[in-house]
Structure 1
Amino acid sequence: MHAAEPTARQTGTLPADTLPTDTTSERARQPKQEPVAWSRGHRLAVSVPIFIILLGILVGVSHITAVSANIQPIGQTMSMLTSDTSVTFNNTTGKALPSVGTYKVTKRYITIKAKRPSTGEIQSIRVLIREPKGAGSNRPGVVFMHGAGYGTCDNSFGDVAYSLSSAGFVTAVIDKPVWSTTDITRDYPASAKIYDQTINYLRSLDQVDAAKVGIYATSESTWISSYLLQRDPKIAFQVLLSPMVFSPRQSLGFLASQDFTLVGAHNGYQSIVRRVFDMDGTVFGLTNFDLDIEKPAAYSIPTFVAYGSKDVMTAQVEGAREILDLAHKSDNWDVTIRSYPVANHVLRLGNEADSGTGFADDYVNDMVSWAVGTAAGLDQTSERAAGSMLYQSIAVPKDLHADRGLTIYGAWIHIAMLITLLLTLIIALAALVRKIVFMIRRKGPALGFKYGFGGALLSLTITTLATFLLFCGGLGQVVMGIVQLAWGGAPAEDPGMMFWSWPVIQVVCTLVVWAWSRVFTRLIEVMQTRGLAQFPPRKGAIGDVVSGREPVLASTRFARVLFWVTAFAMFHVLLFFAFWGLFIY
């Protein structure tokens, strides 16, 4: 007999149907099982926290960058003593005082070299001298000082300078001293030096009484006149047209705040003004925002102040009160205030740039009469404050100040947005070229976006940029409305886009943030299916994603770069909106 076969227990083996399986090799042989797709509730549960976090960041930025400004009280008024604006004096000279048209006027030009002390830069300036023909000697003189812009001796003050000269004054209108500066980098102390140089030239003329030379300053140049009066206290008198009494930060902050309201701009656009005028200009080398010009010396001489009721650029009530207060502190009680109905910021009845646009009412006659009587040293008999009632819609925002932190952050977010948008544009153009080439050569997908990420990225980018253009359009309409107001136009009955665009942008921005939260939720979901959204990540998962074997976003590295650069740029656009207050609800 054959030896008995060893039993299974003896050999230590088991029947085939009871053999243990090699689980490691079995898992390797089995196909990978994709996790079950998230339910709608699961996606919502992940999307909501992401949305809250993103929106919280943007709302937080809007509130942190918000700037409060006290514009109370509103609707300030100052009543005049009479509506009659004429200026009269007790004439003790024994002869009739000259008036507009008394003398014929001759003209001549001279050229002076204007040196800017801070840089040594030289500007050749022409000076147009107008003289009353046959008026004799000891004539009073007036030097005209330019407002904003780039006025020359030929295109500025022609009619009013002629009127003064025809009443016996030797007048001088110069090319505006600007050197290489711009509207926001003007050198006011240097400009004061050049105007004083012109004043001294008039004083040197044989027919001019050196003790009777005054100035005629309008708008921006009233900042210069403050420096000029501190530099040369011997100036005899001054005519101030729509004077900017307060510092540029306060004056321009008032101008913008008031005009944004008048044109009907949404309160959101008005909040932009406060952020702009809370900037620290010294970060960019701009030192003119906080000029120290409210000095008693600036109003220590006989002063004629003129306002127009349609002037939307000047704080008239607080300005007039400040002038009177500073004048009285310098023991000067010779201040005459005139307000003219319908007149605009330059006392005209329309755009000064249009030929033939005249001054309002009797302004020229009143001003000339005052200058003649004052230069003659006579006692004024007419009321000091006359004309239409002064009105000021809001208070001057004197609590605006230089905020360096806000300025640095604002500069960073704007620069970062522009850089990321430019980078996105370059990559997007490259992607377009790539797609065209792939289509021509029939090489298949050029970018290889998966799970709808490509379409979502495109739609969100278009929506965000369209919202940005809407913001620019609304702000642009506000600016155009202010320009029309400045030249005497009436605000539109329907503010249109400058009002409705702000809440529309707010709604769209919120929807865009929600859409991005859904995109990121989908991204997390796909990452989980690829074994990335776990710790530690599934072995080989990172390599599979990077190599494109199991992509999360796209099968090509180019598309993945395009996605993240574009997403980063769009987030910066949202931060831009947040900086300007679009996420304050």
Structure 2
Amino acid sequence: MTAAVTLGLLTPVAVAVPDLLVPTATAPASAATAALTPAALTPAALTPATPAPAALTPATPAPASPLAVPSDLTATELSFHGGGGLVMHGTVLAQATAKPARPGVVLVHGAGTGTPRAKLLGEAVEFARRGLSVLIYDKRSEGYSLFRRSYSQLADDALGAVAALRAQPGVDPAKVGIWGLSEGGWVAPLAASRSKDIAFVVLVGANGLPPLRQQTWAVAAGLRKAGVAGSLVDRAEPNLYRTIADGGLFPEPYYDPAPALAAVRQPVLAIWGTHDLLTPPQESPPLFARALKEGGNRHYVFRFFPDADHAAHRTPDGGVTRLPELAPGYADLVGSWVGEVTAGRPPTARISGPAPVQASVTVPVDPPAWWASAPAQLAALLLFLVAFAGYPVVALVRRLRGRSTVPVTGAARLLSGAGLATVLGSFSYLVYLVMTGGKLAAPGPVFAERPLVWLALQALAVASVVATVRTGWAWRRAPGSVPRGERARLGLLLAAGVVFVPWAFHWGLLLP
């Protein structure tokens, strides 16, 4: 079973999820943050990172600014070359009375193709008012889609933006850093690990887990928040994501962020909202701390903001609704922290803020076995469509030709109808949940922690199994009276019914 999928961080190499990313135990929120306390850590000198590529020359002139910038700020349009030489356009915001030799920061988007720079205007304005020159740029759409993306290429885009900002008048090129939100939390450390031209790294809503594991958790958490439990959440949803990834429809599913984080030598400020519903806020920080520590980087600060969502914006309802305002103190923290770092006073490792809320833990989403792979699921789907849909079609053709045959048993008709309805219905429903899942799932009416739609599909699955047994029994009792053509038709139907049984168990349709 394959389907299109939206990514919460929202992207193919098939590798096992490293043990580093698998939590060893389920800890309460307080314990999760306590585990990060760096009491035994001492400051370590920053070592030079891998040299960045040479600054790219300015590209063709950018169009007029699409931004409505407040009067106390200036906006400068520029163009630069991203990964693969793609011409990209951005805007630099700064105070109208900005000081010379000021720090700068490049903002890297979260998931989404062609996301306009205006999406990060709120952050850019607030950071600029704290004395920074802030570059925001339109995200690429070329080479980036729902099914295709490269974090390496996105990192090259960010490095091109860094080179462009370092060349701006009034900006101290030694004080330019990078900020990454959500998917940018994978991209920004990768860019920083490649270039010593990046002075610092700020991450918001960043994830220390592989994208597939994060996305599976986010949709499952949304369903649980809607009151759903049982096989739909525990079996069907993660199996769908395994199949999607195995079919090449989930880009960068097993990307491991740990190596890039371990290679970051710059000071790191990582921020999470306590009500992050898209990134597991309890599990990610310890993974970040572990990777940075293994790389010898003790210059990091982790901060949790109360009543804040995935993007560290204010939220009135536990992370479901994102308000335009940033969490109180967030912009001030970025401004003061960047000031300290660029003044040569990198911070010692520390964590502060209230414990984040995470109702459920993530689970590994490893590549599927051969029988659960995308090709095997596609073969089963084709068998079901041919057998279940073909049975009534053949009957209709015979009737139109005046050659109708009395069926061996009415159970065959039930198997055909119920089997087809189960396969198509479950496929459609799961795709719907994935496309609308995340922090605000809409599974429909729920009874006994099961959506009524899922309960109906499970009832159809049981009816299909019963019909398979009855059809096989009826044919066994009257083998000689079944014409040859009917035997082929009935045999194909029964074969589909037999395959349907393990298929339905795999997808949780025959489980509680």
- TM-score (normalizing by structure 1): 0.66
Q: 1:190 to 1:277 in 2, by over 3 A?
A: same
Distance 1:141 1:370 in 2: 13
Does the alignment pair 1:412 with 2:376? yes
Kindly provide the amino acid, as one letter, of the partner of residue 474 in structure 2: R
Q: 1:152 to 1:513 in 2, by over 3 A?
A: closer
Q: 1:429 to 1:128 in 2, by over 3 A?
A: farther
Stretch deviating more after TM superposition (172-181 or 501-510)? 501-510
**Corresponding residue number in structure 2 for 1:4:** none
Of residues 282, 288, 301, the one that matches 1:336 is 301
User: Is this contact kept in 2: 1:242–1:306, CA < 8 A?
Assistant: yes
Kindly provide the amino acid, as one letter, of the partner of residue 303 in structure 2: R
Distance 1:250 1:159 in 2: 30
Of residues 458, 461, 469, the one that matches 1:509 is 461
**Corresponding residue number in structure 1 for 2:366:** 401
Deviation at 1:242, TM superposition (A): 0.9
Distance 2:367 2:281 in 1: 24
**Corresponding residue number in structure 2 for 1:449:** 406
Structure 2, unmatched stretches of 5+, are: 1-21, 35-68
Distance 1:169 1:328 in 2: 29
Structure 1, unmatched stretches of 5+, are: 1-68, 82-100, 117-121, 439-444, 531-550
Deviation at 1:348, TM superposition (A): 2.6
Q: 1:284 to 1:337 in 2, by over 3 A?
A: closer
Distance 1:476 1:402 in 2: 19
Distance 2:93 2:331 in 1: 17
SS of the residue corresponding to residue 164 of structure 2 reads helix
Highest Rg: 1 or 2?
Answer: 1
SS of the residue corresponding to residue 77 of structure 1 reads helix
User: Is this contact kept in 2: 1:253–1:273, CA < 8 A?
Assistant: yes
Does the alignment pair 1:75 with 2:28? yes
**Corresponding residue number in structure 2 for 1:326:** 291
Superposition map of 1:99-248 within 5 A: 104-116=72-84, 123-248=86-211
User: Is this contact kept in 1: 2:116–2:137, CA < 8 A?
Assistant: yes
How many residue pairs are counted as aligned between the two chains? 453
**Corresponding residue number in structure 1 for 2:509:** 582
Deviation at 1:210, TM superposition (A): 0.8
SS of the residue corresponding to residue 117 of structure 2 reads coil
**Corresponding residue number in structure 1 for 2:337:** 370
User: Is this contact kept in 2: 1:76–1:391, CA < 8 A?
Assistant: yes
Q: Deviations over 1:97-156 (max 9, x none)?
A: xxxx9992122322334343xxxxx54322222233231421211111111112434332
User: Is this contact kept in 1: 2:147–2:248, CA < 8 A?
Assistant: no
Of residues 528, 552, 572, the one that matches 2:482 is 552
Deviation at 1:405, TM superposition (A): 2.5
Distance 1:292 1:70 in 2: 15
Deviation at 1:197, TM superposition (A): 1.2
Stretch deviating more after TM superposition (172-181 or 423-432)? 423-432
User: Is this contact kept in 1: 2:219–2:439, CA < 8 A?
Assistant: no
Distance 2:444 2:477 in 1: 52
Q: 1:283 to 1:80 in 2, by over 3 A?
A: closer
Q: Deviations over 1:12-36 (max 9, x none)?
A: xxxxxxxxxxxxxxxxxxxxxxxxx
Q: Deviations over 1:441-484 (max 9, x none)?
A: xxxx5422245x3x332222222233345535764675477434
- TM-score (normalizing by structure 2): 0.75
Distance 1:320 1:79 in 2: 9
Does the alignment pair 1:466 with 2:421? yes
**Corresponding residue number in structure 2 for 1:347:** 312
**Corresponding residue number in structure 1 for 2:353:** 387
Q: 1:402 to 1:237 in 2, by over 3 A?
A: same
Distance 1:72 1:474 in 2: 33
Distance 2:383 2:274 in 1: 46
Kindly provide the amino acid, as one letter, of the partner of residue 459 in structure 1: L
Does the alignment pair 1:271 with 2:239? no
